[in-house]
């Protein structure tokens, strides 16, 4: 392990019951690209998965732009069937994802998936929950992201896309893209509203969580 590489531990308390508590270890590299660091949006989305674990358990889950993969690993720990994906042109990130799965003794499918690129693997994916933490950071990639999400939701019309993002420039651009791609928002939460105080105190920013589905009009097409 290099001097810039650390392992962070993320604990989830099962209401005082040690048998239902879990812990996830993440390999982070402070000098590498953004994909190898646990950002606040990942912490919040992972907490949401944990708190709603009865909903996520036994689901087929796809995490987009997974990076260090904390939300997907929490989902795997609680019994979901998880596929972790990130940019297919970044093998170092995909390799790190595999190492993190091995570190946690978890069996996840890891695959390269570049937004807006229609390679064969995407046509076989049928998730009922799509996760994405801080995937709305580069506005030049927004259309590729939403094209990918829209395709996946049309392939699984009852699926939902759950994402956390820094509300840097207001929700208006996100709302525009949701409508543009035939989607609709069904839930919008302040990311800190459900985060335990001991975790919230370590994070900053204005982070929102949104759940997105196909619009009813688009479902009928």
Task: Give the pLDDT confidence of 46-99 residue by residue, as tens digits.
Answer: 999 999 999 999 999 999 999 999 999 999 999 999 999 999 999 989 999 999
Cα–Cα distance between 62 and 122 in angstroms, integer? 11
Cα–Cα distance between 137 and 119 in angstroms, integer? 23
Q: What are the pLDDT digits (tens) for 101-120?
A: 999 999 999 999 999 998 87
Cα–Cα distance between 11 and 127 in angstroms, integer? 26
Residue 217's pLDDT is 55
- Highest averaged pLDDT of the listed ranges 17-21, 29-33, 119-123: 119-123
Rounded average pLDDT over 124-139:
91
Q: How confident is the model at residue 16 (pLDDT cuts 50, 70, 90)?
A: low
Residue 2's pLDDT is 58
> Percentage of the chain surpassing pLDDT 90?
67
Q: Which residues contact 176 (CB under 8 A, 6 or more apart)?
A: none
Q: What is the mean pLDDT of the chain?
A: 89
Question: In this model, does residue 121 exceed pLDDT 70?
Answer: yes
Cα–Cα distance between 85 and 111 in angstroms, integer? 5
Bridge partners, 110 (sequence order):
84
Residue 139's pLDDT is 80
Question: In this model, does residue 26 exceed pLDDT 50?
Answer: yes
Residue 5's pLDDT is 86
Contact yes or no for 71/42 (Cβ under 8 A): yes
Residue 204's pLDDT is 84
């Amino acid at each position: 392990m290099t001097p810039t590489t650390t392992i962070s531990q993320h604990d989830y308390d099962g209401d005082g019951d040690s048998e239902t508590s879990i812990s996830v270890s993440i390999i982070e590299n402070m000098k590498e690209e953004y994909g190898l660091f646990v950002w606040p949006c990942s912490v919040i989305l992972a907490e949401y998965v944990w708190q709603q674990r009865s909903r996520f358990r036994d689901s087929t889950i796809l995490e987009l732009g997974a990076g260090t993969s904390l939300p997907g690993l929490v989902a795997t720990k609680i019994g979901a069937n998880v596929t972790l994906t990130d940019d297919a042109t970044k093998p170092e990130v995909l390799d790190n994802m595999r190492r993190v799965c091995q570190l946690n003794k978890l069996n996840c499918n890891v695959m390269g998936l570049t937004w807006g690129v229609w390679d064969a693997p995407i046509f076989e994916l049928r998730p009922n929950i799509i996760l994405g933490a801080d995937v709305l950071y580069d506005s030049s990639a927004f259309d590729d992201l939403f094209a990918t999400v829209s395709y996946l939701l049309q392939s699984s019309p009852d699926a939902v896309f759950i994402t956390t993002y820094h509300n840097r420039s207001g929700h208006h651009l996100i709302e525009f893209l949701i409508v543009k791609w035939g989607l609709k928002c069904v839930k919008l939460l302040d990311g800190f509203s459900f985060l335990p105080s001991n975790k919230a105190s370590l994070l900053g920013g204005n982070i929102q969580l949104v759940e997105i589905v196909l619009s009813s009009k688009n479902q009928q097409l």
